[in-house]
Every structure is written in structure tokens, then in C-alpha cells.
Amino acid sequence: MVMRYYVIGSAVIILIRAQFNIPIPFGNIGLKTNDEGNLEITSNEGFNLFGYGGKRNVKVVTGNGTFQIEKEDVGLVNGSQYGGSGAFSFDKQKGINVGQNVTLGDQTAV
């Protein structure tokens, strides 16, 4: 009975440090622990057909006193990116940070 708990505990410890990458149509969903030990969940989707298409990226990071979410939605027109991105983060040492960008071709407004 005790051996069963050791096996289950060992499996949990191994899986906590593991990195998962789940493929979805035109992208993936990722789950990993970053260098600081925080949980990082990502979702990347994209489609590019001869310079036309789009991409969407979402990243959520959470851990000890830290929360961060980043989002990017971009349309591709003739190889140029048009769209926006934003971020919201809270860190117990740095405080609150909110940001947003708008990209039109080769120009970015912050």
C-alpha cells in the first residue's frame, strides 16, 4: 500500500516539471513551467496563405504572487500585419502593468 503512494507521488513530481504541447488545427496549446517556476499556458493559432491570413496568440502565466496575460490578434494582408495586442500583469514586487499596441503594416502605436 505504501509503495503505491510512492509511485503516484513520483509520477506527479515528474508530470509537474513536464512540458505539454497539444496540437489543434492551425496551432497548438502549450502547458509548461517556466524558468522562475511559474505555470505558463499558451495558445497559438495561425494561418498564412501567400501572405494573407491571421494569427492569434494567448499566454497566461501564474505563480507565487504573479499573474500575467498577453493576447495578440493580427490579420495578414499582402504580408503585412494589421491588428492589436495587449497585456495585463501583476507582480508582487513590480506592481500592476497594463499595455496595448496597435499595428498597421510597419507602424506600431503604443
Distances (CA, A) of 30 to 16, 19, 34, 44, 69: 14, 7, 12, 8, 14
pTM of the model as a whole: 0.73
- Could you give the angle at the alpha carbon of 59 between the alpha carbons of 57 and 62, nearest 5°? 175
pLDDT in tens, 12-50: 555 556 677 878 888 898 888 888 888 898 999 999 999
Domain boundaries of the chain, sorted by first residue: 21-109
pLDDT of residue 33: 86
- Widest pairwise Cα distance in the chain: 64
Looking at residue 21, what is its pLDDT?
Answer: 81
Question: Phi, psi (5° rounding) for residue 106?
Answer: -100, 10
Of 110, 70, 62, the residue nearest 87 (C-alpha): 70
